[in-house]
Amino acid sequence: MIKQIRLCSTGRRARGLLLIGLLLASGLARAGGPFTPFLNCVDDGGDPNATTLVAVIGYINMGPPFGTVIGSLNNFFFPDPVDRGQPSTFETGVFPEVFTADFDEVTTVVWLVNSQFVSFDRNSMRCEPPVLEDDLFEDGFEN
């Protein structure tokens, strides 16, 4: 029996932290700066020909915590459905893996929240594939 071990979370976190560093360096996110949603990666479930994909989304909020109403002009997805499981409250800090959103591989999707947005499509950076347990040495590293 082959077991799957998802290393995607660790890889996503590393990419999220790299993205955060780039955002901070670019001035897009800074103390007292704007709320910034961002895409960690798009998961194709290990099938490069998948027609339904999953976006892994996070945010940076360097201002005070705030709330929104999902589906309002301050928190929605385009195209519909406007609610794809996004949060309605946003704490201060960096949150790289807040939620996932399914989407069709032929669609470009935009999440707009608090006048900021992130977009993604089938060409967005893919999540790392799972590593099979049979491909690991006893110390947990890949063969």
**Per the confidence metrics, is the pTM higher than 0.85?**
no
The mean pLDDT value for 13-37 works out to 53
How high is the pLDDT of residue 48?
86
Furthest C-alpha separation in the chain: 52
CA dihedral (66, 72, 77, 81) positive or negative: positive
How high is the pLDDT of residue 7?
36
> What does 76-128 look like in DSSP terms, one character per residue?
EEESSPS-SS--SEE-SEEEEEEEEEEEETT--EEEEETTEEEEE-TTSPBPP
Residues present in the chain in total? 143
Per-residue model confidence as pLDDT tens digits over 70-120: 999 999 999 999 999 999 999 999 999 999 999 999 999 999 998 899 999
| CB distance 38 to 23 below 8 Å | yes
How high is the pLDDT of residue 139?
60
| CB distance 62 to 95 below 8 Å | no
SS3 at position 13: helix
> What is the distance between the alpha carbons of residues 141 and 102, in angstroms, rounded to a whole number?
31
| CB distance 34 to 113 below 8 Å | no
Q: Where are the domains of the chain?
A: 4-135
Confidence band of 28 (pLDDT split at 50, 70, 90):
very low
